[in-house]
Amino acid sequence: MNQPLKQALREKFETIELDAGQIRSLQDRSGVDERHAPRGFPSRIATVAAAVMISALSAWLGWTWHDARTTAQLMSDITAEVVENHLKQKPLDVESSSLPDVLGFFDRLDFQLLQSPRIVSGAGARLLGGRYCSVQGISAAQLRVRNQDGSISTWYEALLPPGQMDRIPDGLVGEPPVMRVSRGIRVRIWKESGVLFVEARPAEPIL
């Protein structure tokens, strides 16, 4: 059976022997005079150094795990909110099949909406209009598209805080969107030019 990471690292670092210069440096920092140092003092220094390195590595591993968990939670939260908005199908604030006209309606947002060709790129897709909504409590634009098979897609553009936006894959550099399925709705999450994009549509085509 493999040893736990901490134990393996501790045993590895305890075998390290410091040279005279490294020992003197640690002694100077600790204020210990080597003439009065107890027998075995160098090995104790190595053990202390190893313990410090193990603690630092453990902290780094803990931070990495927390960061990954936080990112997963953010994606889950966005998915849940977008699916809820998609299923409600509230009345549109503006109705038009012109993407520039619909995007121009959203003058209360504090960022510039992007005219992404993905929104109406599907064969036979037709833009119906849009409405104000929110993503993670931030005001957002929701666009509604009727697909060729009759199903409805909703598209979202929002500007999240930098700490959250940094966790979103960048579609312009080829990073694949995050994909989730919830309540029968497939959700894709990515960003373009610093703007969050989310698409929600039925996970299975309507027959």
Q: What is the pLDDT of residue 159?
A: 96
Output the CA–CA distances (angstroms, integers) from residue 185 to 79, 92, 129, in the order listed.
9, 20, 20
Q: What is the pLDDT of residues 179-198, one digit of tens each?
A: 999 999 999 999 999 999 99
Mean pLDDT (whole number) for 109-127: 87
Q: What is the pLDDT of residue 45?
A: 58
Q: What is the pLDDT of residues 168-178, one digit of tens each?
A: 999 999 999 99
57 vs 66: CA distance, rounded Å: 14
Q: What is the pLDDT of residue 164?
A: 93
Q: What is the pLDDT of residue 50?
A: 56
Distance from chain centroid for Cα 40: 48
User: Percentage of the chain surpassing pLDDT 70?
Assistant: 65
Q: What is the pLDDT of residue 65?
A: 41
Q: What is the pLDDT of residue 143?
A: 97
